[in-house]
Structure 1
């Protein structure tokens, strides 16, 4: 599906749950960053994920559901790559070129697993304990 359709289906919660994977999250982050300043992109991403989760009965548990720190980390990483390398002809082309963003372990370059997976990090943003985030 093209970028506009992906974003529309995310925003109206018609994107199938089995399609709501790591790359789908990143694509929404990328598309918001192309259209909005960072603070607005963060707010739209945050509220959109929470609305999507509610519409699909994705509950918050210690290991699942919405995670504020991860949301902010991934948005910052996508933003840094976008500023460094520029946009591509599509979100998929961007992530095909920026494969480091497709590795779900990338945040562990900045955070210890214990800190990143803490309840505090899930509820609100906590800064990294290993090295600074880009733009942070």
Structure 2
């Protein structure tokens, strides 16, 4: 967790909202669905779409998007439940701690934070468990330490 990480930041609220709406509508180009986009969409859903139960719907939203761009959700590719749920916990933790206001400021601060790093779930999971088929196909409790609860 010492590797250099330089996230691609967002220019404005419109970009983040368009990304979130594109996820919901399955209208994003596949190339737009980056690590940063995943986190931005999660923060947007949690803060601006209280009508969507993220815990209940995140898997179906991402799976539907993946399939809409020709992706497959199986044992080796596509949606990964444990990673996604780890990041949802991380975004909630970030939101409980940040002093940032405004959508773009929050998303960009998240991307620069520990919770925004690509390797953040490996604080909680061994690599072997996290990248296992059971962890991809359903949520598996971490084996190193519990995920943060807010």
TM-score range, shorter chain: 0.7 to 0.9
Which of 87, 93, 111 pairs up with 2:105?
Answer: 93
The change in CA–CA distance for 1:123 and 1:10 in structure 2 (over 3 A counts) is: same
Query: 1:28 touches 1:45 (CA, 8 Å); kept in 2?
Result: no
Pairwise CA distance, 1:87: 5.4
In the alignment, which residue of structure 2 is the partner of 1:108? 122
1:133 is aligned to 2:131: no
The change in CA–CA distance for 1:87 and 1:50 in structure 2 (over 3 A counts) is: farther
Query: 2:85 touches 2:139 (CA, 8 Å); kept in 1?
Result: yes
In the alignment, which residue of structure 2 is the partner of 1:119? 133
Query: 1:111 touches 1:129 (CA, 8 Å); kept in 2?
Result: yes
SS at match of 2:31: helix
Q: Which 5+ residue runs of structure 2 have no aligned equivalent? A: 1-13
Query: Distance between the aligned counterparts of 1:21 and 1:71, measured in 2?
Result: 13
Query: 1:111 touches 1:131 (CA, 8 Å); kept in 2?
Result: yes
Query: 2:76 touches 2:133 (CA, 8 Å); kept in 1?
Result: no
> How many aligned positions are there?
134
Query: Distance between the aligned counterparts of 1:95 and 1:135, measured in 2?
Result: 20
**CA-atom RMSD in angstroms:** 2.0
Query: Distance between the aligned counterparts of 1:9 and 1:108, measured in 2?
Result: 29
Pairwise CA distance, 1:101: 2.8
In the alignment, which residue of structure 2 is the partner of 1:22? 35
Pairwise CA distance, 1:62: 4.2
Superimposed CA distance per residue, residues 87-134 of structure 1 (whole angstroms, 9 cap, x where no aligned partner): 5312x4223223223311110010000000111101111111111110
